[in-house]
């Protein structure tokens, strides 16, 4: 997992939180997302040995979507940073 690349992407997203920038960098986001999901999957495997209550957790249960629901929010930035 390339933590520096993930943090760099999130920092740049904070400054450029708009659809045009995100669409231009979507491939980079997909690589970061894959790294994050792989890390969480390995972490969940380790947790299952320690805490049996985590046996039913999936990666999607532990990772937030990057897309923000802006319908009822005062913050209209389209992506979570």
What pLDDT digit, counting tens, does each position of 15-56 carry?
A: 999 999 999 999 999 999 999 999 999 999 999 999 999 999
pLDDT of 73 reads: 85
> Is pLDDT above 90 for 4?
yes
**In degrees rounded to 5, what are phi and psi of residue 79?**
-130, 145
In a domain, 20, yes or no: yes
In a domain, 40, yes or no: yes
In a domain, 68, yes or no: no
User: What is the pTM (predicted TM-score) of this model?
Assistant: 0.83
> Is pLDDT above 90 for 69?
no
Parent domain of 26: 3-62
Residues 51-75 have a mean pLDDT of 90
In a domain, 76, yes or no: no
Number of domains in the chain: 1
> Is pLDDT above 90 for 72?
no
As a whole number of Å, the CA-based R_g of the chain is 15
Among residues 30, 25, 37, the alpha carbon closest in space to that of 1 is found at 37
């Amino acid at each position: 997992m390339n933590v520096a690349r993930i943090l760099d992407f999130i920092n740049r997203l904070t400054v450029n939180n708009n659809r045009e920038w995100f669409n231009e960098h979507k491939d980079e986001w997909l690589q970061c997302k894959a790294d994050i999901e792989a890390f969480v999957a390995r972490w969940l495997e380790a947790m299952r040995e320690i805490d049996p209550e985590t046996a039913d957790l999936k990666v999607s249960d532990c990772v937030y979507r990057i897309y923000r629901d802006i319908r009822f929010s005062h913050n209209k930035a389209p992506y979570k940073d």
